[in-house]
Amino acid sequence: MYKTPSKQLSFEDFNQPLGLHMDPNNRWIKKAAFIPWDLVEKKYKKLFKGFKGHVAKPAR
């Protein structure tokens, strides 16, 4: 079973405790911007067609 999560927070909307900000030059943030997450989510969802059992983890 798979439930589509709500939309992913954008980089600018992500707030950390204590007012810390994420570095836009971080290599993981740059790599995440290149991945077509909507397409990954769509293909991943097809693997879980049943309506019973444990809920699968989100692709992201």
Give, in order, the Cα–Cα distances in Å from 60 to each of 7, 23, 52. Answer: 11, 20, 22
CB 44 within 8 A of CB 59: yes
Tell me the per-residue pLDDT of 1-58, one tens digit each, with 9 for 90 and over.
566 666 665 656 666 667 677 788 989 888 888 888 889 888 888 887 777 777 777 7
Specify the pLDDT at position 28: 87
Q: Give residue limits of the domains in the chain.
A: 24-60
By CB atoms closer than 10 A (0-12, 13-18, 19+), residue 52 is exposed
Nearest partner of 37 among 12, 11, 1, judged by Cα: 11
First to last CA, the chain: 16
